[in-house]
Structure 1
Amino acid sequence: MNKLQFYTARAFRDEATIASLSAPQSDLLDALNGKSVALVGNARALAQSDQGADIDAADVVIRINRAPMPEARSHGTRTDWLALAVRLSDEDLDKIAPRSTLWMSPKRKRLRHRIATGDGFYLHPLADYEALRDRLAAPPTTGAMMIDLLLRSDLSSLTLYGFDFFASQSLSGSRTAQQVPHDFSAEAAWVADMQRRDPRLRVIRPGSD
């Protein structure tokens, strides 16, 4: 799909046309069968840890949005999948160099042609976003959407790094919890409930080793 066709579809909110560029969700989940997955959040406290080697040891490493990696010691170096809800420059995309890019945001107008037509592109369905939003009674974070999605697969384990539900704020910005449209208390409670229900899910608290 050329740029004119893509941006026309985006401007007119032609979801079907944009979704035609996406890998099927079933293929995405099948790729995780039996795999260990590290989902790396952007909590500032993660930078004080020595979890980088454990992150890189996972079969699949997934990072979120701007995917800050200040040091290999704390964050590792690999990015297999990048879960996005923000615009990134070509320079930033080239630096992160994910094998697959997952567009999680319902805001399709932020989606770039390069991402939508790249290898390994996945478009998260609006219905999935809306279902989780209703469950949390607030717009879900990219991390929450990924947890919800990943646990539908037959992965062997899902370990969360850099998730403190904004207690230490984010490495990729200066906003406080009150300045973003998410309910971090609700997400923390939801993740704790998911842990009780699904033994594959493990949370490594930022700053702990």
Structure 2
Amino acid sequence: MTPLRFYAARTLRNEPMLRSLSVPLSELVAQLGGKRVALVGNARSLAEGTQGAQIDAADLVVRINRAPMPAPESHGTRTDWLALAVRLPQADRARLAPGRILWMSPKRKRLDWRSAHSPGFYLFPLDDYQALEHELGAPPSTGFMAIRLLLEAPLATLTLYGFDFFASRSLSGSRSAEQVPHDFAAEAAWVEDRAARDPRLRVAPSAGRVS
């Protein structure tokens, strides 16, 4: 798709045309099968620990948005997939060098041409986003969307790092939980319940709090 056609589709909210740029969910599922996956959130508490080596030891490392990485000791170094809902500056794109971009935001006008045409690009369906929003009673966070997406696959394990559900706020900004539109209590409750029933899902302890 040419840049002109892409930006026209984005402006006119031509979802079928934008969807044509995405690989099918089946491709993600196939690649995740049997893998030990690390999903790295952006909680400030992660920077206080030393879980970087554990993160890098996973078969697949997924990070979120601009994915601040203060130190290899706390955050590791790899970014295989990037679950993205914000514009990605070139400096961050070069730093992270993700092997695959998953566009999670329903705000298609934020999607840039380079991300949409990157190898293995995946567009999170609007219907799935709206279903999660209805379930939570609030817009789902990018991290929660990624958890739900990854658990659709027959992966071996999914370990969450840097998920304290905004108890320590985010490395990406200074807003408090009350200043963002997500219901972190509902997301935390869902994860706790799912982890109790699904042995694949584990939340790595964050410094100062276990979620």
TM-score between the two structures when normalised by the length of structure 2:
0.97
Which residue type is aligned with residue 125 of structure 2? Answer: P
Instruction: Find out whether 1:104 has 2:104 as its counterpart.
Output: yes
- Pairing 1:51-90 to 2, within 5 Å after superposition: 51-90=51-90
Find the counterpart in structure 1 of residue 186 from structure 2: 186
Find the counterpart in structure 2 of residue 92 from structure 1: 92
Alpha-carbon displacement from aligned partner over 1:135-156 (angstroms, at most 9, x marks no partner): 1111000010011111110000
Residues in 1 aligned to 2:60 and 2:75: alpha-carbon distance in whole angstroms? 14
* Structure 2, unaligned runs of 5 or more: none
Which residue type is aligned with residue 82 of structure 1? Answer: L
Find the counterpart in structure 2 of residue 14 from structure 1: 14
- Pairing 1:151-166 to 2, within 5 Å after superposition: 151-166=151-166
Find the counterpart in structure 2 of residue 5 from structure 1: 5
Alpha-carbon displacement from aligned partner over 1:122-144 (angstroms, at most 9, x marks no partner): 00001111111111111000010
Find the counterpart in structure 2 of residue 46 from structure 1: 46
CA drift of 1:205 comes to: 2.1
Which residue type is aligned with residue 166 of structure 1? Answer: F
Residues in 2 aligned to 1:147 and 1:167: alpha-carbon distance in whole angstroms? 18
Amino-acid identity (%)? 64
* Structure 1, unaligned runs of 5 or more: none
Find the counterpart in structure 2 of residue 24 from structure 1: 24
TM-score between the two structures when normalised by the length of structure 1:
0.98
Residues in 2 aligned to 1:85 and 1:205: alpha-carbon distance in whole angstroms? 25
Instruction: Find out whether 1:126 has 2:126 as its counterpart.
Output: yes
Residues in 2 aligned to 1:94 and 1:115: alpha-carbon distance in whole angstroms? 12
- Matched pairs, number: 209
Alpha-carbon displacement from aligned partner over 1:76-116 (angstroms, at most 9, x marks no partner): 00000000000011221111100000000011000000000
